[in-house]
Amino acid sequence: MIKHIIKLIWNKKKSNFLMFLEIFFSFLILFAVFTFVVSNLRMYQSPLGFDTEDMWLAHLSFPSELDSATVADTKLRLVRELNAKPEIISVGFTNSITPFSGSTWVTSNDDNGFDLQTWVVEADEHYGPTAGVNIVEGRWFNEEDALGKYPAVVFNRKLWEEYFDEQPVLDSIYKLNGKENIVVGIVENYKYRSEFEEEYPTTLFHKPVHDAGLASLHIRLQPGTSVQFEEEVNQTIAGITKRSDFIIENLDEKRKDNSRSTWIPMITLLSICLFLILNVALGLFGVLWYNISKRRSEIGLRRALGATADNISFQFISEIMLVTIAGILAGSFFTLQFPLMKLLEVENIDYYYAMGLSALIITVLVLVCAFYPSRQAAGINPAIALHED
């Protein structure tokens, strides 16, 4: 029966070719959209590695004409007075490479006997607990780190995995950024650029809290602190730094803003896809309907020769399914080149998911569209159909 149906499809290759093309292109388009969506969603799944809720962020600046003692004095006063407020749990400083700010700093060298490339963030001893980073090995920085022989660094797991195969690295010395550093800890994640980003190998470098290079102030608040409190913080900071050229940002809002730039194209593409799918479905339905009405006498004949109603609907569903499978296979041949040749910076698994999802949706769609017309075909009265021409 299947062989007979394949022969029938082959002999009608001209009219089936259009259907084949429709399936083929739908598959390619769905694949492209799903690759984008799946890879983004997969990245979205991996945690940021720090908290954004009840976190405020103020970018301060300490003009270069100020001597370091004055800056240190100002910063320590800030920490003391802010921590004294009951609404504030803790504060910490980083350099200007703050979450969702768009800035990055990458360094690479082969000073350790192998090529190593890492993203760089500088932070003080209070930042880790303030941001709620998740330490998996060792510890976060402490005040003694400033007194040690080597500056302290914390790796993220990605770096540990990629360059050290998760072998012990604590208390080892590595040359990074032109200096020798001692590894004191490892954090699970530190994905500070965006929720829709890969985690990159990242190193957090320690600088003491009074260092003038750390001017981004992170404030962790008691849950549910009202926005009105911002004014008070604003005045405290302005009073101590004697400057007003800073703004206080809500880190969670920043995260949402940042993610919106991916959610919006993603949802737009998916909606366009949905319309495409609906269009293809309507087209398919029309074509199937038309085909069956054109083939009424064939159906009548087959019934007269002994086909059951089930034989007829099986035939019509198989015909369309075989064309669909051919279209999906042809499409897969092209889309497989993406993972095989590593054409884009997307994980292979995302391509395979996208292919599977596209194939599944198209198959289900075709089955749904074919179901009613083929039931209709099965119900055709042979005596009437044979009488018609």
Partner 1 sequence: MISLKDINKVYRTKTVETLALNNISLNVPKGEFLSIMGPSGCGKSTLLNIIGLIDEPSGGQVSIDGQNISNYNSKAIARFRNEKLGFIFQSFHLISDLSVIDNVELPLIYRKVGAKQRREMAEEALTQVGLKNRMRHFPSQLSGGQKQRVAIARAIVGKPSIILADEPTGNLDSVMGNEVMDILLNLNNNSGTTIVMVTHDESMARKTNRLVRLFDGSQVQ
Ligand X SMILES: Nc1ncnc2c1ncn2[C@@H]1O[C@H](COP(=O)(O)OP(=O)(O)OP(=O)(O)O)[C@@H](O)[C@H]1O
Whole-number Å distance between alpha carbons of 382 and 290: 18
Judged by beta carbon, residue 61 or residue 311, the one nearer partner 1 is 311
- Site residues (vs partner 1, CB under 8 A): 1, 3-4, 7-8, 11-12, 297-298, 300-309, 311, 381-383, 386-387, 389
Query: 118 and 201 in contact (C-beta within 8 Å)?
Result: yes
Which of partner 1, ligand X, none does residue 2 bind to, with CB < 5 to 8 Å depending on kind? none
What residues pair up with 216 in beta bridges, in sequence order?
A: 59, 94
Name residues contacting ligand X, limited to 248-267 (CB under 6 A).
Answer: none
Looking at the Cβ atoms of 238 and 384, the one nearer to partner 1 is 384
Site string for ligand X, 103-132 (x = CB under 6 A): ------------------------------
Q: Which does 311 bind (CB under 5 to 8 A by kind): ligand X, partner 1, none?
A: partner 1
User: In angstroms, what is the minimal distance from the CB of 383 to ligand X?
Assistant: 7
Question: CA 364 → CA 6, 204, 289, 369, 372, distances in Å?
Answer: 21, 49, 18, 9, 13
Q: 189 by DSSP, 3-state: which?
A: coil
Q: Which residue is nearest to ligand X (CB)?
A: 384
Instruction: Tell me if 252 sits within 8 A of 336, measured CB to CB.
Output: no
Judged on CB neighbours under 10 Å (0-12, 13-18, 19+), 41 is: middle
**Shortest separation between residue 12's beta carbon and partner 1, angstroms:** 5
**Residue (of 282, 289, 297) closest to 375 by Cα position:** 289
Side chain identity, residue 148: G
CB nearer to ligand X: give 267 or 384.
384
Closest distance between partner 1 and the C-beta of residue 304, in Å?
A: 5
Nearer residue to ligand X within complex by CB, 300 or 327: 300
H runs (alpha helix) in 203-347: 229-241, 251-294, 296-304, 309-335, 337-341
CB of 1 or CB of 247, closer to partner 1:
1
Size of the site for ligand X (CB under 6 A): 2
70 binds, among ligand X, partner 1, none (CB under 5 to 8 A by kind): none
Q: How far apart are CA 165 and CA 206, in angstroms?
A: 23
- Would you give the binding string for ligand X spanning residues 348-387, x where CB under 6 A is met? ------------------------------------x--x
Least CB distance to partner 1 at residue 10 (A): 9
Minimum CB separation from ligand X for residue 387, in Å? 5
12 interface partner picked from ligand X, partner 1, none, CB below 5 to 8 A per type: partner 1
CA distances (Å), origin 239, targets 168, 215, 256: 47, 16, 31
- The radius of gyration computed from the CA coordinates of the chain, to the nearest angstrom, equals 32
By beta-carbon proximity to ligand X, the closer residue of 208 and 300 is 300
Q: Rounded distance, CA 90 to CA 85, Å?
A: 10
Which of 56, 58, 60, 59 shows the shortest CA–CA distance to 87? 56
Task: Return the amino acid letter for 196.
Answer: F
Whose Cβ is closer to partner 1: residue 48's or residue 385's?
A: 385
Binding residues (CB under 6 A) for ligand X: these are 384, 387
